[in-house]
């Protein structure tokens, strides 16, 4: 934290790693990368991380759905073959 701003007798203010707004480090939060960020930037980061996790789960579910459909079609074809013979 080389660039700090001193406001009179107040706390040392540091820039937010996300938006650059000066924030009080005693009330700031840490991002997932360990940087000091303001509350709005922290919230944006949390929402972004949750979206990534959610999208990964959807992709995982779609893969299982596709495998299930293929297996069901193969089994249906085998059952129809046995039923016709």
Residue 28: its pLDDT value, please?
A: 84
The whole-number average pLDDT for the span 51-58 is 76
Residue 26: its pLDDT value, please?
A: 87
Phi-psi region of 34 (alpha: psi -120 to 50; beta: other; left: phi over 0): left
Predicted confidence (pLDDT) at residue 74 exceeds the cutoff of 60:
yes
Extended strands (E) in the chain: 5-6, 12-15, 22-23, 29-30, 36-37
Residue 59: its pLDDT value, please?
A: 67
């Amino acid at each position: 934290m080389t660039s700090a701003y001193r406001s009179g007798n107040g706390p040392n203010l540091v820039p937010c790693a996300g938006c650059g707004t000066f924030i009080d480090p005693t009330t700031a939060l840490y991002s997932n990368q360990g940087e000091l960020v303001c509350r709005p930037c922290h919230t944006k980061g949390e929402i972004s991380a949750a979206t990534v996790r959610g999208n990964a789960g959807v992709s995982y579910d779609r893969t299982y759905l596709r495998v299930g459909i293929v297996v069901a079609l193969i089994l249906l074809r085998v059952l129809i073959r046995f039923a016709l013979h």
